[in-house]
């Protein structure tokens, strides 16, 4: 089968969704071919909230044996997309947020629908890994082509993807893919029809690395805490830095390593802390990231805005204990005290959890082993790809002609 893939960002744009999608397509390519449409590739500065207008121009590029078509705007398109910015004006948002968003989505579809329709002429199924303009446009194209429309929304309750407009999109899809039981329940809670939802999950390949090499390279002292993710407020990186610095001031010997993209100012601030046991590495290769997981003694992501971080699975792959944000999505993934520990995004709370880890590393290590076992039974990419392949096959054969 040929699958039309729709995504807001594709590698080399860095992120958990982007890495998972690329790995998923790698495994699915044994049985399927793809036409991939994206809006952003990460090679130009992103402008959150206004990317619809300022996205890079249209073009094609190759990434690791996949060909991606950037569905970017022309100069005239940018002018036609200007109404999309009205939804960002505070005064207008207060009086008609949902109406403005519907108008913006319609503007987006009018600009891109013909190009998406042309790109997807020969596909059997359209699968969107985003909502917003790209998702709505993909739905309209799927209906014109009379092919099934599947969406994996990666909804973050209270942050994005859970508005009445978004739920309207999901309830027109032939199937909505949830990442775990907590995600399924969250989708139902915002109004997605249960019959449409299928829990498939997200997965990784087992990783291995050379931890001792990395520790020598960066002269790491004491137990190593690892953070992998974007350096943005809701991820909790700043609170984690403050917690580690506080412990070091109290005489504890430990180090913190942070990997992931950051603004120039944040990168400079973090780099100044090297002498205090804070190692900021920025964007790194997959090989160096694997070395860091192998080197670390604890993985920490004290975020208050996640749904299914692959970084947790990567830490579990090497049986590393984890300390993650105490939010519903992660409560559904991590069994506190058995496969990891939960903490609110607060420097004092994080500091005390880290102190507990330092006092009982053996007990926390047992949680890492339990997490590794959970990964092997639930979150390996070959199993996730097989579930997608089964779903595609059911739609292609007609046995899934009605919503689940």
What's the pLDDT score for residue 86? Answer: 77
d(Cα 313, Cα 333) in Å, to the nearest integer? 10
pLDDT of residue 403: 43
Residue 48: per-residue pLDDT: 62
C-alpha span between 339 and 134 (Å, rounded): 36
Which pLDDT does position 96 carry in this prediction?
Answer: 65
Name the burial class of residue 106, with classes exposed (0-12), middle (13-18) and buried (19+) by CB atoms within 10 angstroms of its CB: middle
Supply the DSSP symbol for 129: S
Helices (H), 159-236: 164-170, 181-189, 211-217
Residues in Cβ contact with 204 at an 8 Å cutoff, skipping those fewer than 6 apart: 20, 23, 310, 313, 314, 317, 375, 379, 380, 381
pTM above 0.85, yes or no: yes
Residue 398's pLDDT is 77
What's the pLDDT score for residue 83?
A: 81
Along the chain (404 residues), what's the average pLDDT of each consecutive run of 10 residues? 97 90 97 96 76 91 96 93 80 69 89 96 97 96 97 92 95 97 94 97 95 97 96 97 98 97 94 97 94 98 93 97 95 95 98 98 97 96 97 86 44
Q: Please give the pLDDT value at position 15.
A: 83
The pLDDT value recorded for residue 399 is 67
Write the CA distances from 345 to 231, 303, 305, integer angstroms. Answer: 14, 6, 10
Structural domains of the chain, ranges and CATH numbers in brackets: 2-203+381-397 (3.40.50.2000), 211-378 (3.40.50.2000)
pLDDT confidence of residue 402: 45
Q: How far is CA 299 from CA 44, 279, 340, in A?
A: 30, 14, 10
């Amino acid at each position: 089968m040929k699958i039309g893939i729709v995504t807001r960002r594709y590698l080399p744009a860095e992120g958990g969704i982007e890495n998972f999608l690329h790995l998923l397509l790698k495994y699915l390519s044994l049985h399927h071919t793809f036409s991939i449409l994206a809006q952003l590739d990460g090679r130009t500065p992103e402008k959150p909230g206004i990317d619809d207008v300022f996205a890079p121009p249209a073009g094609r590029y190759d990434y690791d044996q996949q060909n991606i078509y950037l569905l970017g705007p022309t100069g005239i398109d940018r002018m036609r997309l200007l109404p999309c910015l009205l939804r960002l004006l505070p005064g207008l948002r207060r009086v008609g947020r949902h109406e403005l968003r519907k108008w913006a989505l319609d503007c987006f579809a009018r600009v891109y629908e013909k190009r998406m329709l042309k790109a997807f002429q020969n596909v059997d199924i359209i699968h969107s890994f985003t909502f917003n303009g790209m998702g709505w446009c993909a739905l309209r194209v799927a209906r014109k082509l009379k092919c099934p429309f599947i969406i994996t929304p990666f909804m973050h309750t209270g942050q994005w993807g859970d508005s009445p407009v978004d739920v309207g999109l999901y309830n027109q899809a032939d199937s909505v893919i949830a990442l775990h039981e907590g995600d399924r329940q969250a989708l139902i809670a915002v109004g997605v029809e249960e019959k449409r939802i299928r829990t498939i999950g997200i997965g990784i390949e087992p990783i291995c690395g050379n931890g001792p090499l990395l520790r020598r390279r960066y002269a790491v002292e004491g137990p190593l805490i690892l953070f992998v993710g974007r350096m943005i407020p809701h991820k909790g990186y700043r609170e984690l830095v403050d917690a580690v610095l506080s412990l070091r001031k109290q005489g504890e010997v430990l180090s913190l390593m942070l990997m992931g993209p950051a603004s120039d100012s944040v990168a400079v601030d973090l780099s100044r802390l090297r002498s205090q046991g804070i190692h900021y590495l920025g964007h790194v290769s997959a090989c160096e990231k694997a070395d860091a997981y192998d080197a670390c003694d604890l993985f920490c992501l004290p975020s208050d805005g996640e749904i299914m971080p692959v970084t947790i699975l990567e830490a579990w792959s090497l049986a590393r204990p984890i300390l993650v944000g105490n939010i519903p999505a992660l409560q559904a993934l991590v069994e506190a005290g058995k496969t990891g520990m939960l903490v609110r995004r607060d420097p004092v709370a994080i500091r005390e959890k880290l102190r507990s880890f330092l006092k009982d590393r053996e007990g926390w290590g047992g949680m890492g082993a339990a997490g590794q076992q959970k990964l092997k039974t639930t979150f390996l990419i070959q199993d996730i790809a097989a579930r997608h392949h089964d779903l595609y096959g059911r739609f292609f054969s007609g046995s899934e002609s009605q919503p689940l």
